[in-house]
Amino acid sequence: MKDLFSVKDKTVLVTGSSRGIGYSIARGFAAAGSVVLINGTSGESVKKAVKQLLSEGLRVHGIAFDVTNPAEVEKNIEKIENSVGPVDVLVNNAGIHRRAPLEDMTMEEWNKVVEADLTSVFIVSKAVAKYMITRRAGRIINITSLNAEAARPTIANYCAAKGGLKMLTKSMATEWGKYNILTNAIGPGYILTDLTKPLSDDPSFDAWVKSEVPLQRWGQPEDLAGAAIFLASEASKYINGHTIYVDGGWQACL
Ligand code: NAP
């Protein structure tokens, strides 16, 4: 029982972990004793994040690749499996926004977001699951959003992608449970990162978040690490296909 929540010595790949929520989840796993792989498209940002975490005495490696590029993903997953170790836990966190009113949204804005926030999870999970299936073990955690449940103007591409990701999570749980691969999701609420800076910089939106969220504050990236560690540990070994919303209670009063 004492190791119920342990993730010690697990190899954990967190996509999009050079900053923001991914960085805090990666840092949380590493602080709990995991070996963590830091990812992003910018090699410079990945290096900077790795340097910081190494200076804290944590076990991390950097691996820059674009999660929307199937050939790059295949090559880099193979590299991780052969040089760092078997991926025990995959956190599909990388994501982007391209905001525009629906009637003005371009095909490029639509496609970019669906590719980065939904298709990438199919690409990376398939590449990692190939190895997890042979081992009959694995945990996959998809970072969705409150916007998988509730829409907001100017982010129809994002809402569609995250709603799709909620169902992809259930599909992965349904098809890969027989291989002892457990797939769940975390749906963050309003968290202070670069992605939400345009919103937190807007005084009326900032006031709206603080008045609507029962905890009366924005979430911090560190608020997500606990749920991710729980979903990777023995403590959650019969939980498969669910989403945990880490939103300060916002969804409770929608
Ligand atoms: P962020 O601060 O903008 O960080 C995004 C991370 O993803 C960066 O490390 C970025 O690195 C990486 N990334 C983006 N596209 C990538 C690609 N194609 N391949 C590899 N890495 C890529 O974002 P965040 O706020 O932490 O959000 C993280 C996740 O949480 C996203 O899925 C987002 O939708 C979700 N989420 C966030 C909030 C929130 O309030 N912040 C709420 C709900 C859900 P590079 O720039 O180097 O590529």
Ligand 1 atom with the smallest distance to the CA of 188 is 43
Domain ranges of the chain: 11-246
Phi first, then psi: give them for residue 138, nearest 5 degrees. 170, 155
Measured between its terminal Cα atoms, the distance across the chain in Å is 37
Quick one: which of 36, 42, 34, 30 has its CA closest to 13?
A: 36
Q: Whose CA is nearest to atom 32 of ligand 1?
A: 95
Q: Tell how far the Cα of 110 is from the centroid of ligand 1, in angstroms.
A: 17
Total Cβ atoms within 10 A of residue 137:
14
State in words which class domain 11-246 has: alpha beta
Buried (b) or exposed (e) across 163-183, using 16+ Cβ within 10 A?
Answer: bbbbebbbebbeebeeeebbb
Which residues form ligand 1's pocket by a CB distance below 6 Å?
Answer: 15-22, 39-42, 45, 66-68, 93-96, 116-117, 143, 145, 188, 190-191, 193-196
Q: Whose CA is nearest to atom 8 of ligand 1?
A: 16
Per residue of the chain (254 residues), what is the pLDDT tens digit? 779 999 999 999 999 999 999 999 999 999 999 999 999 999 999 999 999 999 999 999 999 999 999 999 999 999 999 999 999 999 999 999 999 999 999 999 999 999 999 999 999 999 999 999 999 999 999 999 999 999 999 999 999 999 999 999 999 999 999 999 999 999 999 999 999 999 999 999 999 999 999 999 999 999 999 999 999 999 999 999 999 999 999 999 98
Q: Tell how far the Cα of 186 is from the centroid of ligand 1, in angstroms.
A: 14
Task: Give how far Cα 78 sits from Cα of 47, 60, 151, Å.
Answer: 20, 18, 37
Quick one: which of 69, 170, 88 has its CA closest to 131?
A: 88
Grouping H, G, I as helix, E, B as strand and the rest as coil, residue 62 is strand
